[in-house]
């Protein structure tokens, strides 16, 4: 599965369960860890867990098994490593505190992704 298809699979799954403020950031020029980071907010720990489980199920159905999943038990911040795409699902308080958008804005964040400054 191509990176764009995987990104669409993840964002569709997040949209299915009404994730809040979904943002995808193209980081392939700033890190070798992944190509795309997707950040989404769950309205509660239960919502975050449900979003993460749905993303995992959707990608498995599409033939992509996560390389790793962290934080699913707690639900404050769930990280799903899909290789070319890494998904962060957080409660709003956690997202505000860690502010990954700013962390990765060593370059300008646009709707299309990060653009080097």
Q: What is the pLDDT, as a whole number, of residue 1?
A: 81
Bridge-based pairing of strands 36-42 and 85-91 is: parallel
Strand extents, DSSP E, 1-117? 20-26, 36-42, 68-70, 77-81, 85-91, 108-110, 113-115
Count of positions (residues) in the chain: 117
Intervals of the chain under pLDDT 70 = 105-117
Q: What is the pLDDT, as a whole number, of residue 117?
A: 46
Q: What is the pLDDT, as a whole number, of residue 112?
A: 56
Domain ranges of the chain: 3-97
Q: What is the pLDDT, as a whole number, of residue 114?
A: 47
Instruction: Report whether CATH 3.30.460.10 matches the domain 3-97.
Output: yes
């Amino acid at each position: 599965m191509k990176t764009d298809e995987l990104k669409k699979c993840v964002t569709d799954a997040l949209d299915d369960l009404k994730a809040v403020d979904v943002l995808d950031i193209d980081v392939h020029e700033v890190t070798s860890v992944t190509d795309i980071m997707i950040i989404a907010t769950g309205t509660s720990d239960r919502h975050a867990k449900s979003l993460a489980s749905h993303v995992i199920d959707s990608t498995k159905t599409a033939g992509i098994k996560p390389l790793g999943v962290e934080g699913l038990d707690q639900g404050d911040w769930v990280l799903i490593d899909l290789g070319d795409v890494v998904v962060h699902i957080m409660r709003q308080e956690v997202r505000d505190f860690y502010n990954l958008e700013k962390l990765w804005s060593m370059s300008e964040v646009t709707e299309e992704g990060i653009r080097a400054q």
